[in-house]
Structure 1
């Protein structure tokens, strides 16, 4: 009997040590919806969170400390007959080595998030079929999050998961929902996002994630100056993208997540030559020039 108990405890400990990849928080804002049932939106929030955090997105084993921190903010604009019109903001971050700090990786606002949701109906993910727009959009961003996170730890290490996201786009194109087709004329949608990420033209963007984080931020606990130089080199990769694709979606996405962090990194501690860095930042992200002026 004692052996059985020990086996059960051991198996339970394995389940707790190894778990799914995401540690997602989900927030549903329905203030713009008149006479909305709060419990319905609470159930939406709960089911989306459970879907993101219990679905296995990779074949790897993640410990609790390795889980990817991410946020999904759903802002419902209108609702009727189980059909929702909303926007979705997705954020993710990764830990900085030997630090209590985390570094933002993704911060993107999807303005074409319409879906049908029926309370307590199971959300079942199949990468090769379109079951609902809610599932496909969530699965798309989950794979993008995992892919970019892996890119930040090993150069181009997230390709497998980014290709899954691309497949989700391909499957969803005939669904009739917005955000999946390049023909929509909106170069900020999911189709353009994943096409750009996987395009060889934007390989420097993905290389910048590795250089900036693994060879920059992660080094700072041992050598702050060397870490800063690594971060600056990561930013220089984006200058290569700027030469061929000025004001590209991925460049804007990078700085939507990173602007404040970059200013913080280069505004204190051991000094490095920031003259060329500030020139590069002003060239590739001129909208943030006021913030770049704080780097001395």
Structure 2
């Protein structure tokens, strides 16, 4: 009996030790491509799902229930001679303690996504060289997801993952693909990870921790304290906005969080929302209609 129990325990330990970090749904949408044979897009979709979900991205031991819920929607708008052109929408969630709720933490559409792919070609990533823009972009966003998730659980916990993403940016600088260089315009992969690692944006990462660990994780047990912590996070964002108005990371945050913030402050225990809504309208004016729903 004892041997049997030890065997079961060993199996469980192995399951947890080798469980991957992400539970990611990758979708390849080819509706805009005028092509009868869609098999290559289905093959690509399956290969990407396997690549993202079956790769061990960190040295952490992760149980299946701890895997990060996320998605990547790749929309192909042009395809010819193994060259794909389109966009990628990346989203990730984070569980809230003592609830079944998944809090959205990242929501961004990268419009500079082109790559070469031959059907059934294996997908791999070399951390020391640039070999494929497809795996480089996907891997870059995997590390962004891991980093932002870690930041919500511990102060600046995502730094090692952001540095991995930054390393990919460095390798891709001379690739000729758009989105990797500072000169490629606004809202690039270069700018995103540069912001995340810059000391100028330290308020953003602290606010990310306070919002989730001190705020959302207390929403079930102490909603008043949770709301106060979330409102305090908005003050940190306001401070950052005064230095870097309309920054990439702030826009990405509110793209993911606007509905959640409105819902949190539209019910339950009342807190002072006058200053809160003023701050929200100042730092995220694009969502003024959403903020108007916050009422006593």
Give the TM-score of the pair, scaled to structure 2: 0.95
How far did residue 6 of structure 1 move?
Answer: 8.1
Inter-partner Cα distance in structure 2 for 1:117 and 1:10: 42
Residue 27 of structure 1 aligns to a residue whose secondary structure is strand
**Alignment-derived partner of residue 187 in structure 2:** 188
**Alignment-derived partner of residue 139 in structure 1:** 139
Is the 1:125–1:135 Cα contact (8 Å) retained in structure 2?
yes
How far did residue 13 of structure 1 move?
Answer: 3.2
Inter-partner Cα distance in structure 2 for 1:139 and 1:31: 25
Inter-partner Cα distance in structure 2 for 1:91 and 1:60: 22
Residue 57 of structure 1 aligns to a residue whose secondary structure is coil
Inter-partner Cα distance in structure 2 for 1:38 and 1:52: 22
Is the 1:95–1:103 Cα contact (8 Å) retained in structure 2?
yes
Q: Cα distance 1:46–1:96, how it changes in 2: closer, same or farther (>3 A)?
A: same
Q: Cα distance 1:82–1:267, how it changes in 2: closer, same or farther (>3 A)?
A: same
- What do residues 91-125 of structure 1 show as CA deviations (whole Å, max 9, x unaligned)? 00100000010100100000011011112211112
Q: Which moved more, 1:23-32 or 1:7-16?
A: 7-16
Inter-partner Cα distance in structure 1 for 2:216 and 2:189: 29
Residue 146 of structure 1 aligns to a residue whose secondary structure is helix
Is the 1:30–1:36 Cα contact (8 Å) retained in structure 2?
no
- Any stretches of 5+ residues in structure 1 without a counterpart? none
Residue 155 of structure 2 aligns to a residue whose secondary structure is coil
**Alignment-derived partner of residue 245 in structure 1:** 244
Inter-partner Cα distance in structure 1 for 2:261 and 2:136: 33
Inter-partner Cα distance in structure 1 for 2:11 and 2:81: 42
Inter-partner Cα distance in structure 1 for 2:231 and 2:177: 40
**Alignment-derived partner of residue 34 in structure 2:** 34
**Alignment-derived partner of residue 271 in structure 2:** 272
**Alignment-derived partner of residue 89 in structure 2:** 89
How far did residue 247 of structure 1 move?
Answer: 0.8
How far did residue 150 of structure 1 move?
Answer: 0.2
Residue 72 of structure 1 aligns to a residue whose secondary structure is strand
**Alignment-derived partner of residue 290 in structure 2:** 291
Root-mean-square deviation over aligned CA pairs: 1.6
Inter-partner Cα distance in structure 1 for 2:202 and 2:281: 21
Inter-partner Cα distance in structure 2 for 1:118 and 1:61: 34
- Aligned residue runs from structure 1 range 14-93, under 5 A: 14-18=13-17, 19-93=19-93
Inter-partner Cα distance in structure 1 for 2:156 and 2:270: 30
How far did residue 15 of structure 1 move?
Answer: 3.8
**Alignment-derived partner of residue 211 in structure 2:** 212
Inter-partner Cα distance in structure 2 for 1:15 and 1:73: 32
**Alignment-derived partner of residue 106 in structure 2:** 106
- Aligned residue runs from structure 1 range 114-263, under 5 A: 114-184=114-184, 186-263=185-262
- What do residues 175-220 of structure 1 show as CA deviations (whole Å, max 9, x unaligned)? 1101100112x12110011111111111111111100000000011
Inter-partner Cα distance in structure 2 for 1:6 and 1:269: 47
Report how many aligned residue pairs link the two structures. 293
Is the 2:16–2:61 Cα contact (8 Å) retained in structure 1?
no
Q: Which moved more, 1:117-126 or 1:80-89?
A: 117-126
Inter-partner Cα distance in structure 1 for 2:97 and 2:48: 30
